[in-house]
Every structure is written in C-alpha cells, then in structure tokens.
Amino acid sequence: MNPPDVAAAVVVGGLFAAGCYLLLQRTLMRLLFGFLLLGHATNLLLLIAAGSPGAPPIIGAARIGDEPSADPLPQAMALTAIVITFALTIFLLSLVYRSRQLHGNDEVRDDAEDRRLAENQQREASAAAADPHRTNGSGQARTAADEGGNTL
C-alpha cells in the first residue's frame, strides 16, 4: 500500500468511527450527523475501491489509446448511495423537526415498557435469590445448587 492509500483508509476508518459514535447518541440531530458521516464514508470507500481512474467505459470508434477502461460499477454504486443517503437524511430531518415541535427538544426518551421490563427482571432476580425453593414459571419447584451445579 502506498501512502495515499493508507491516508485514505485512515480517513474512511475515522469517518466510520465518528459516524457510529454519533449514531449511538440520544439526540436525533447527532444521529442525523452520524448518518451523514456514514454515508460520506461509504461513498469514499466505494470510490477508493474503484481503483485508479481509467479511460471512459465506452466501447467504440471514439476510444483513444490502449488505456484500460474504468470500472463503472463503483461509480454507479456511489451514485446510488448518494441518493439513498439524501432520501434518508430528509426523512431523519423531518423526524428531528417534528420531535422538536412536539417535545421542545430532539432527545429520545426511555421507553416506559423497557423500564417496566427491566424492573420486573430485577424483582424476579431478587426474589429468586431470596427464596431458592420458589417455583419457576411452569409451576415446578426450583432446586438449590452449589457452585459446582450439584443439587443440595
């Protein structure tokens, strides 16, 4: 690998890392910026993967020289990725705008159902630890076991 390839790989890796970090944030605006960074990193990766530029991929009398033709597939994939990124960006931007209108901010709140499930799991775990002979969900009695898995 020559130095420009290494620099490009580092830039693509940095864009992917920053995009993934921003996607994990709780505000929708940061999520939008993370998605944009991932889209740009994908486009750059596709163009780097295309290799060095060549002659236009047109076969006919207008072709000049023996230069190998460029592969049009990575360019077509990059254009497709640009269109998809643009469409999803507009959709996410509308979600951010609507969230700001309804709630006054764009932060994603905890789901009440997720909190309720977590509390139930904690309650069941503490109840099972307190009473080892408590029955499980199927009505069968649980048996206590030591560290080795042997029943007591």
Q: What are phi and psi of 27, to 5 degrees?
A: -95, 145
- Asked whether residue 151 is assigned to any structural domain, the reply reads no
- Asked whether residue 38 is assigned to any structural domain, the reply reads yes
| CATH number for the domain that contains residue 31 | 1.10.287.3510
Please tell me the distance from the alpha carbon of residue 70 to that of residue 77, in angstroms, as a whole number: 14
Q: What is the pLDDT of residues 113-127, one digit of tens each?
A: 888 888 899 988 888
- Asked whether residue 147 is assigned to any structural domain, the reply reads no
AA letter at 47: L
- Asked whether residue 137 is assigned to any structural domain, the reply reads no
Q: What is the pLDDT of residues 21-49, one digit of tens each?
A: 999 988 889 999 999 999 999 999 988 88
- Asked whether residue 133 is assigned to any structural domain, the reply reads no
* b (16+ CB within 10 A) / e for 30-64: bbbbbbbbbbbbbbbbbbeebeeeeeeeeeeeeee
- Asked whether residue 68 is assigned to any structural domain, the reply reads no
- Residue range(s) defining the domain that contains residue 8: 1-52+74-125
3-class DSSP assignment, residue 141: strand
Nearest to residue 28, comparing CAs of 87, 86, 85, 99?
99
- Asked whether residue 138 is assigned to any structural domain, the reply reads no
- Asked whether residue 109 is assigned to any structural domain, the reply reads yes
Q: What are phi and psi of 55, to 5 degrees?
A: -70, 155
| pTM (2 d.p.) | 0.65
- In the chain, the number of structural domains is 1
Instruction: Give the per-residue pLDDT at 71.
Output: 80
Residues ≥6 apart with Cβ < 8 Å to 44 = 8, 11, 12, 15
Reported confidence tier of residue 105, pLDDT bands at 50, 70, 90? confident
DSSP secondary structure letters along 79-94: HHHHHHHHHHHHHHHH
Which one is predicted more confidently, 77 or 52?
77
